[in-house]
Each structure stands twice: as C-alpha cells, then as structure tokens.
Structure 1
Amino acid sequence: MTVDSSASTAMQSDRSGTGSAPHLQLAVLSLLAGGVLAGGSYLGDIGLLVATAVVQALLVVSWVLGTGLPGRTGALAIGGLAAAAVDAATTHWHDSGYSPVLGVLGVAIPLMFVHQLIRGVVRARVVESLADITVLLLAVVALTGLMVLRRQGDGNVLVPAVVAAIAAGMAASHVTDAGWSAPRFDPAVDRGLPAVVVGIVVGGGIGLLALRRIIDFTGGRGGFVGAAVAAVACLLSIGATFSGTHSTLDAPTSAEPGGALPRGARLRPVAATLMTVALSVPAAYVLVNALSS
C-alpha cells in the first residue's frame, strides 16, 4: 500500500506539471515557438510560410505521439496532409482570410472517418481518436491566420507583435506560477490567477510598444490587442494543464512495463505549448481586423 501510494503521488505530481513538464520548461518552449514564428515573419512571406510549416510539423508529431492517440499512423498522415493543403490554399488565396481552411476541413472530416474504418481489428477508442484528430486539425489550420495577417497592411509589424504578446504572455504566466500559484483555479493544478494577470500585463506592454506607430492602434488600442491575445493564450494554457492533470493517459493500464510513462510522454509539453500558441492565433486575427477596419 505504501509503494502504491507513493507511486500514485509521484504520478499525480508529474501530471500536474511539476515533474516532467515544469513551468520553466514550458516558458522556454513558449518563447522558442514565438521566436520561430516572429523570426519567420521578419524574413518575409516565404519565411513565415516556412516557419509556420515547421511549427505545424512539430505540432502534429508531438500531439499524436505525446497524447498516445489511437491510430497514430493515420493521424500523422492526416495532420501532415492538412497542414500542407491549408498552407498552399492560404498562400494562393490569401485575400480570402480564413475561408480556404473550410475546404481543407471539409475534405479532412470524411478522411477521419475513413481512417477509423481502415484500422480494422485494432479499431479501439474510436471516439477518443476522432476527438484528438479534430483538435489537431483545428490547431493546424488556425496557425495559417498569421500568414493571412502578414499579407495585410502593416503585416510585417502586426504578426511579430501578436506572436510576441502570445509567447511572452505565456512565458510570464508560467514563470509566475513557478514561484506563486495561489489562489489556484483548481487544487490539483498549479496554475493561479496572479500568473494570468502578469501574462496579460506583459502582453499588453508588448502590444503597446510594438504597435504604437500604427495609426489604427494608437490611443492604447495596441495595448488592448496585446493584452487580449495574451489573456486568451494564458487561459488556453491553463486549460491544457488542467486537461493533462485529469487525463487518464498515465494510468497503470496505459503505462509502459515497469511503471514508466509512455515513451511519447516527453513530447507532451511541446504539444501543449504549440497547441496553445496555434489556437490563440484566430483571436489575434479577429481583434486586429476588428480594430483596423
């Protein structure tokens, strides 16, 4: 009983983010992801396309392997094809905003069901597989909003600004939680309200400084955009942490022999970070266009 209790406590600690995915690690990953996307934007449209494709590839691999998604081979293929298709469609029809992604999703949805049918005798946890692939597809197509935004007026400034606000807001939030996570949103999750406030302040400051010379974002509107996208990113990050804490992936039935976690578990911090960044992009796209129209 003592051994089982200790193992359970250690496993819970690891899943809550204080073991295999500490806050400082997640903060560094957030800054790296933001740096890749912002750096690609500085290199131009092609540079951002390459940076987006790299992040999408890492997201697909880390999500599929890190979550232990059922039907991994097909999920990798669907995610990779969707990323390539949406990047090509967005590059060709960049004036249409997010509209091209609807066609990609329209084709991907039936492919998801075909994928489940061809799994044959190993067809298990079908609903879980479909749900995980759906979330992956949404994140992959969401990232292309940066490519659309880059081709708009002042896109060379807007994209690095919103990416920096997202990444820096997430990093500041994790650093704050590493030292002070009270009051917590959930007793089992070491994520607190002060971290969200710090992340919003950091994001707002970046938006204010980066967008101050663009006429549409004067008068504090740049700060509002930065704070808003940072808030979305911080809340999504908390959701990812909460989901990981209450996940059953680390239960003894899914662990490797000897009590070790599944081999893909080390990729979960990467998947959580990239997923959060990707799903924050649509909020930035909508806010920027709403304030500049």
Structure 2
Amino acid sequence: MSHAALETDLPARAHHLPAAGVVVVSVALLALAPEQFGDAGRLAAVLALQLLLVAAWVTATGIRGFVGSLGIGAAAAISADLLMVLPEEPRLDGLLVVLGAGFLVMVVHQMLRPAPRRYLVASLAGVVLLVCAVCALSFLLTLGRVDDGPRAVTTAVLAAGAALLAGHLVDLVLPRPTLADGVPRGLLGLLLAVLAAVGVLVLRQQPDGLEEQLSAGTAGAVLGVVTALMAVGASYVVAERPQRGWALPVVQAVLPLAAVAPIAYSVALQVPL
C-alpha cells in the first residue's frame, strides 16, 4: 500500500464505530416501530431507511446526475412500498414493474446528462444497485403480512443486526486474517458474525429436538452469511472513498439489511423464524 493511500485511509474506529451505531438505530427502528404502531409503523420504518439509504448512497459514491439519482431512488422506494402494502394479498410481482420501469428511467436519465457524460456506466451501475437495494427492503413489508410474519421480520432483523455488530466490533479489535489489503475486515469477524446470527435464531426459536435445532441453526447461518458478506462489501465502498461524515456509516448499516430482506422472506417460507 502506498504512503498516499495510508494517509487517506480511515482509522479503524472511524470505519467501524459509526456504522455500529447506525446498525443499532436501524434495528431498533425496524423492531420497535411495528410493536408500537403495527403495519403502519413497519411501513414508516422501512420507508425511512430506504430514503436514508438513497441519500447516503448517492452522496457516498459520488454518482453523477445527483438530483436525478435521488429522485429515481426515492420514487422506486415509494412505489415498491405501495405495491407491497396496497394489494389485499401480499404479492411480489409488483417489484418487477418497479425494476423494469426504473431501469428505463435510469438509462434515459444518464443519456440526458450534459456532455461529456463522464462516468456514465459507473453512475448507471450505482443507481441500478440502489434501486435493487430499496426494492429489497420492501420484502420486509411483504414478510410482515404473511402468517407469523411480524415475528419473522423481527427475528430476521435482530439476527442481521447481531451479525453486523459482531463483525464491526471484532474487526475493530482484531481484523485478522485480513480479507483484502486496505479493507479492515477479517475472517474471524466474518465467522463470528455468522455465529451471532445463529445465536439469535436459536434464542428466538428455543428449539427442542435435534431437527428443530438444525433448522434454526441453518436459518441463522444463511441470514448471517448474507449479512456478513454484504457488510464486507460495504466496507470496500468505504475503503475506496474514505471520508468522514454521515453517508458511509448509513451505507454500511442499511445496505446489508436490504440484502438480507429477500433472503429472510425466502427462509421464512421454509422454516419458522
């Protein structure tokens, strides 16, 4: 690593502690708002995190076409949420409409930028990932409407939150063996993050027999692996654009929660969470 790179790297505390704080707030919002306000609370919590992720992602990654990207992300979030909560029966096919129409709007938006349209492909890719992420968070709304869905949402969010916190705190102290140069994440933190998610599932389910224990452990491992890997991916974004501020910790916290939401929906249809 060059001397210049070392000078611009964020300290480990700045990389991990703000993100851990945002994780705590995000998980508390997703877990407590539905307890107090029911489905309306869940909708408000999901939408708040979606809009926060939109603003943070566009700010942190430096996507060109700033205002348009904000509008596309916000419109996708609102549209996806409405399509998840308005139908009498929960359906996922509405998300295909959001993704399909959204992709067309994204392409046109980048085409309409003034010449010379630098970083067009990178900016388009960034907005595509953003729209996919906000649509993924909408899965929590659909999951909350199925049988035992509210409990499943809470369990999945707590498991993901435990994995994120474990990963950040372990990597703050001992990011070894290092997964990549310049990224303060280690294999130990990754493994303990997965174990933290497994622990949450086991505690929430309190399985009796061996089959139930294996089921809970497997579900926790799946949620933990997805969350931990996406958390490491978010750290790559921080390593590429090391800057202090509010945006990067939000990306580190909310993007993994978005990634795990569709997986939680799929797992909950197979085993109780």
CA distance in 2, matches of 1:177, 1:267: 20
CA distance in 2, matches of 1:155, 1:213: 19
Matches within 5 A, 1:119-130: 119-121=113-115, 123-130=117-124
Contact 1:60 1:76 (C-alpha < 8 Å) held by counterparts: yes
SS of 1:190's equivalent in the other structure is strand
Q: Which residue of 1 aligns with 2:99?
A: 105
Contact 1:41 1:160 (C-alpha < 8 Å) held by counterparts: no
CA distance in 1, matches of 2:139, 2:88: 10
CA distance in 1, matches of 2:155, 2:271: 15
CA distance 1:63–1:243, change in 2 (3 Å): closer
Which amino acid in 1 is paired with 2:185?
R
SS of 2:271's equivalent in the other structure is helix
The 10-residue stretch of structure 1 (111-120 or 131-140) with the greater mean CA deviation from structure 2: 111-120
SS of 1:219's equivalent in the other structure is helix
Q: Which residue of 2 aligns with 1:288?
A: 268
Contact 2:95 2:135 (C-alpha < 8 Å) held by counterparts: yes
What is the aligned-residue RMSD (CA, Å)?
2.3
SS of 1:121's equivalent in the other structure is coil
The 10-residue stretch of structure 1 (106-115 or 217-226) with the greater mean CA deviation from structure 2: 217-226
Which of the residues 13, 27, 30 maps onto 2:20? 27
In the alignment, structure 1 segments of 5+ residues that lack a partner are 251-260
Q: Deviations over 1:223-281 (max 9, x none)?
A: 32223212210111112212432x3x56xxxxxxxxxx5xx854112123211211111
Q: Deviations over 1:183-222 (max 9, x none)?
A: 111232221111112111111111112233799x943423
Which amino acid in 1 is paired with 2:265?
Y
Contact 1:185 1:191 (C-alpha < 8 Å) held by counterparts: yes
In the alignment, structure 2 segments of 5+ residues that lack a partner are none
Matched, 1:39 2:32: yes
How many equivalent pairs are there? 269
Which of the residues 10, 19, 22 maps onto 2:7? 10
CA distance 1:214–1:142, change in 2 (3 Å): farther
SS of 1:95's equivalent in the other structure is coil
Cα offset for 1:159? 0.6
Q: Which residue of 2 aligns with 1:89?
A: 83
Cα offset for 1:18? 2.3
Contact 1:208 1:220 (C-alpha < 8 Å) held by counterparts: no
TM-score (norm 2): 0.90
Q: Deviations over 1:25-81 (max 9, x none)?
A: 222211211111111232311110010010011000011111111101000010111
Cα offset for 1:94? 6.5
Contact 2:207 2:216 (C-alpha < 8 Å) held by counterparts: no
Q: Which residue of 1 aligns with 2:135?
A: 141
Matches within 5 A, 1:232-251: 232-245=226-239, 247=240, 249=241
TM-score (norm 1): 0.84
Contact 1:165 1:227 (C-alpha < 8 Å) held by counterparts: no
CA distance in 2, matches of 1:144, 1:85: 10
CA distance 1:213–1:56, change in 2 (3 Å): same
Contact 2:183 2:236 (C-alpha < 8 Å) held by counterparts: yes
SS of 1:124's equivalent in the other structure is coil
Q: Which residue of 2 aligns with 1:276?
A: 256
Contact 1:95 1:148 (C-alpha < 8 Å) held by counterparts: no
CA distance in 1, matches of 2:219, 2:194: 10
SS of 1:120's equivalent in the other structure is coil
Matched, 1:79 2:73: yes
Matched, 1:58 2:29: no
CA distance in 2, matches of 1:187, 1:22: 15
Contact 1:27 1:172 (C-alpha < 8 Å) held by counterparts: no
Structure 1 or 2, whichever has the larger Rg, is 1
